[in-house]
A and B are shown apart, each in its own frame.
Chain A
Amino acid sequence: MTRARLPLYAFLVLLFVGFLAPLAWALSGSFKPRGDIFGYPPELVPDPFTLDNYRTLLTEQPFGRWFLMSTVVAVVATTVSVFVCALAGYGFAKFRFAGKRLLFNVMFSSLSIPFAVILVPLFVILVKTGLGSPWFALIVPWVAPAFGIFMMQQYIVQSVPDSVLEAARIDGASEFGIFRTIVLPLLRPALGALAVWQFLQSYNSFLWPLVLVSDSSRYTLPLGLQTLFVSEQRQYDLVLAGSVLAVLPAVALFVLLRKQLLEGLSTGAVKG
Chain B
Amino acid sequence: MTTTVAGPPGAARAHSARGREEHRPRRAWAPYLFVSPFYLLYVLFMLVPVGVSLWLSLTEWVGLGTPHWVRLRNYRLLATDISFHRALGNTAVFVLVAVCLVVPLALLIAQALNTRGLRVRDLWRTAYFVPIVVSPILVALIFGLIFDRQFGLANAVLRSLFGTGGVDWLGDPNLARISIALVMLWRWTGYLTVFFLAGLQNVPRELYEAAALDGAGRLRTFTTVTLPALKPVTAFVVVTSFVGAAQIFEEPYLLTGGGPAESTLSVTMFIYRAAFQRQQFGYAAAAAVVLFVLVFGLSRLVNRLLGIGRAAS
Contacts and interface: CB of A to CB of B under 8 A. Distances in A.
Contact of A124 (B27, B128, B232, B281): B281
Interface residues of B, number: 121
Interface string B283-301: 0110011011001100110
Contacts of A272: 5, 7, 231-233, 235-236, 308
Interface in A26-68: 26, 29, 37-42
B93 interface: no
Interface in A123-145: 123-125, 140-141, 143-144
Contacts of B157: 42
A31 to B, nearest CB: 13
A125 B49 contact: yes
A188 interface: no
B31 A236 contact: no
B141 A26 contact: yes
A72 interface: no
Given A19-B127, A22-B142, A204-B135, A116 B268 contact: yes
Interface string A155-169: 001100010001001
Given A38-B151, A110-B42, A222 B281 contact: no
Contact of B138 (A85, A88, A107, A246): A246
A264 B117 CA distance: 23
A114 B49 CA distance: 12
A246 B31 contact: no
15 contacts: A8-B115, A15-B128, A91-B31, A95-B17, A95-B30, A101-B3, A101-B4, A123-B275, A169-B20, A222-B135, A229-B137, A236-B144, A262-B198, A265-B194, A266-B199
Q: Which 6 A-B pairs have the closest CB atoms?
A: A272-B232, A91-B34, A266-B198, A38-B151, A95-B31, A121-B52
